[in-house]
Amino acid sequence: MTDQRNLSPDAAQAQEWPRVSAAGFDGFVVRFGDRLSEAANRAALAFRAAIDQAGWSSVAETSTSLVSTYLRFDPLGTDHAVMQEQLQRLLATQDWYAAPHPQGRRLWRVPTVFGTALAPQLDEAAARAGLTAEEAVRQIAATRLRVQTIGFAPGQPYLGELPPAFDIPRQTDLTPEVPEGAVVLAIRQIVLFSVTTPTGWRHIGQTRFRLFRPDAEVPFVLRSGDEVLFEPISSDRYSALAQAGPDGGAVSEALA
Amino acid sequence: MSRTLTLLHAGPGLTVQDLGRPGYLAFGLSRGGAADRLALAEGGALLGQDAGFAAIEMAGIGGTFEASQEMRIALTGAPMAATLEDGTGLRWNASHILPKGARLTIGAVRRGSYGYLHVGGGIATPERLGARSVHLAAGLGARLRAGDVLPVGGDHGGPVDMGLEPEPRLEGGLLRMVPSLQTELFAKAELRRFQDVTFVRDSRANRMGVRLLPGGAGFALDGGLSVLSEVIAPGDIQVTGDGTPFVLMSECQTTGGYPRIGSVLPSDLPRVAQAQAGAEFRFAMVSLAEAVRIERRAAEDRARLRSRLTPVLRDPARIRDLLAYQLVSGVTAGTDLDDECLDTKEGRRP
């Protein structure tokens, strides 16, 4: 990876995506951009599928992040240089940015309490976005968000993309604990928490949707490519949903 | 007859751990597994079985265990006082017979953070998503509690009363690292300073990560709070908003947006896990080629563990009748069971 601050604007533009970088001792990351875009996100998902299909024996596992694909391998069995060469060759086989969305996508409608004592950082996040709390909720609820990747915690989606006003940074301090089902916000994205966890993102909504069910036939509920609408509900409705089971009132339909 | 290990007392940080569950990274579930993976390899070597057998990981303090049948056990990782109810002391970093009905009490760590109790045949709790490791951060399984009855697998038999000199890893020290995803975003002078200063292991540490307090200013990165979330692997050194690094451990999150200044080599991670609060660390960047040499050597060392076993000599001072005799003269049993593997200069807990 190169520090673009040390390059002239022309040189920075001349660098082409995607880029292959070593990641720690036993990993490589293939980045399809340095900012979130739908094309780069689709490319990352499609390229991971291609690595899995290639069936390279030295690869231990693969995953995607927002705009990058990761693979972990055994550097004691395959040299870093050989692995990198294999990745470059596979990259050259097609235009990954033109790859379609994954198959079998669904639209989920998820009942959500915004603000109140259940989600105490709505006002703060709205103010950072230069909006009233009411307007922030209206815009979020009106945006169909897509699961760009599953990560951080089991079954947990990164959802995007919110309107530009929501491009607010993470907070500098970690909130020690935010509950499972929390809707948290930063950098035009929403994460719906699958576990109780500390976070640097702002807690603006709360759901009863359980995303990780280790003993169920489908342990991880959401898939990359699925879309989500957060539908505002009252605290009373939220209380009633305690009886609604692991879906917490969420319903899904197939997307064409 | 079924073989079980019953917990009569349990410290607050006991979990069943194996080498974890690879393959779920794409679903947001990190591999997990023992905090000190080398301890699993040592336990496997001591019992003549695979390193993948599940053991009981004990953070800080152990518990009291009762065997339904005679079984082989081994004790590895951070040394703890281990005694049978008749006062017989069991040496750490060694294999033993736990007789049927015998109660084994394991106390607090003398040094380090995580001790391990291994059994011949392994702890045989049901696999979930392909492994027995409890993953606390994911809510997959739970800490052990008094009253738990753990199934133990069938033992094919093997060595007993054997000892192993462990690789020193309980006192902090030097951590070798390679570049991570945001290393080049840090100014060169900052990266140099990161390798010059001494870090102190904070009291905030668990199976997800270990916080290290830098001597001097933090290592915050301009614009670092808006780095796009990317994959995270154990060993990554994540710098949070206040400039304090966390070394991410086996139960770490799978993606994150705080910048990573480097990544600790896998064979140095047991050193991070085992350090107690206050232990001192330094970092040194090595090339990928050097890292491969270091990891190859570590893998060869692990493969040679079985050939390094030595018989535990029956020291008369450890025989139970003599211990009983010492009790009469007012010397407490249990705390004076020095382990030859311990640094005797180190103060022991009362």
Report pLDDT digits (tens) over B131-172.
999 999 999 999 999 999 999 999 999 989 999 999 999 999
**What DSSP character marks residue A247?**
T
DSSP state letters, A12-80: HHHSPSSEEEE-SSSEEEEES-SS--HHHHHHHHHHHHHHHHHT-TTEEEEEE-SSEEEEEE-TTTS-H
For residue A163, give how far its alpha carbon lies from the nearest alpha carbon of chain B (Å). 16
- The pLDDT assigned to B229 comes to 81
For residue B263, give how far its alpha carbon lies from the nearest alpha carbon of chain A (Å). 5
Confidence at B340, pLDDT banded by 50, 70, 90:
very low
Is the domain covering A106-254 a CATH 2.40.100.10 domain? Answer: yes
Of B139, B179, B229, the CB nearest to A22: B179
| Lowest mean pLDDT segment, chosen from A55-69, B220-234, B257-271 | B220-234
Q: Does A34 touch chain B (CB under 8 A)?
A: yes
- The pLDDT assigned to A198 comes to 87
CB–CB of B296 and A76 under 8 A? yes
For residue B187, give how far its alpha carbon lies from the nearest alpha carbon of chain A (Å). 9
CB–CB of B288 and A25 under 8 A? yes
Of A79, A114, A118, A120, nearest to A230 (Cα)? A114
Of A25, A76, A154, the CB nearest to B28: A154
Q: What is the mean pLDDT of residues B124-134?
A: 97
CB–CB of A153 and B299 under 8 A? no
Tell me the per-residue pLDDT of B173-192, one tens digit each, with 9 for 90 and over.
999 999 999 999 999 999 99
**Residue range(s) of every CATH 2.40.100.10 domain in chain A:** 106-254
CA–CA separation, A58 vs A56, rounded Å? 6
**Residue range(s) of every CATH 3.30.1360.40 domain in chain A:** 4-98
pLDDT greater than 80 at residue B326: no
Q: What is the mean pLDDT of residues B250-276?
A: 95
CA–CA separation, A253 vs A148, rounded Å? 18
pLDDT greater than 90 at residue B22: yes
CA–CA separation, A178 vs B251, rounded Å? 18
Q: What is the mean pLDDT of residues B69-81?
A: 97
**Which is higher by pLDDT, B257 or B287?**
B287
CB–CB of B254 and A36 under 8 A? no
- The pLDDT assigned to A12 comes to 44
Of B155, B158, B157, B219, nearest to B187 (Cα)? B219
CA atoms within 13 A on the CB side of A17: 20
Please state, rounded to an integer, the average pLDDT across all residues of chain B. 89
Q: For residue B211, which amino acid is it?
A: R
- The pLDDT assigned to B319 comes to 52
pLDDT greater than 80 at residue B292: yes
Q: Does A112 touch chain B (CB under 8 A)?
A: no
pLDDT greater than 60 at residue B322: no
Looking at CATH, the fold of the domain delimited by B172-286 is given as Cyclophilin (2.40.100)
Q: In Å, what is the CA distance from A33 to each residue of A43, A141, A145, B261? A: 10, 28, 20, 20
CA–CA separation, B252 vs A153, rounded Å? 9
pLDDT greater than 50 at residue B328: no
pLDDT greater than 80 at residue B38: yes
For residue A35, give how far its alpha carbon lies from the nearest alpha carbon of chain B (Å). 7
- The pLDDT assigned to A172 comes to 81
Of A17, A27, A40, A126, nearest to A73 (Cα)? A27
Chosen from A4, A21, A25 to mutate, greatest number of chain B CBs within 10 A = A25
CB–CB of B228 and A158 under 8 A? no
Specify the CATH class of A4-98 in words: alpha beta
CB of B243 closer than 8 Å to CB of B219: yes
Q: Report residue A251 as tokens.
A: 């319903």
Average pLDDT per 10 consecutive residues for chain A, totaling 256 residues: 41 70 97 92 96 95 95 97 97 96 94 97 97 98 96 93 93 91 95 92 97 93 96 97 95 93
- The pLDDT assigned to A103 comes to 86
Q: What is the mean pLDDT of residues B74-89?
A: 96
pLDDT greater than 70 at residue B95: yes
pLDDT greater than 90 at residue B225: no
DSSP state letters, B52-63: TS-EEEEESB-E
Spell out which residues of chain B touch residue A26, defining contact as CB-CB under 8 Å.
233, 266
pLDDT greater than 50 at residue B321: no
- The pLDDT assigned to B228 comes to 80
Q: What is the mean pLDDT of residues B41-48?
A: 98
Spell out which residues of chain A touch residue B253, defining contact as CB-CB under 8 Å.
151-153, 197
Helices A38-54 & A80-91 angle (0-180, nearest 10): 120
Enumerate the β-bridge partners of residue A3: none
- The pLDDT assigned to A256 comes to 75
- The pLDDT assigned to B323 comes to 46
Domain positions in chain B: 3-167+304-311, 172-286
- The pLDDT assigned to B226 comes to 61
Predicted TM-score (pTM) of this structure: 0.87
For residue A238, give how far its alpha carbon lies from the nearest alpha carbon of chain B (Å). 23
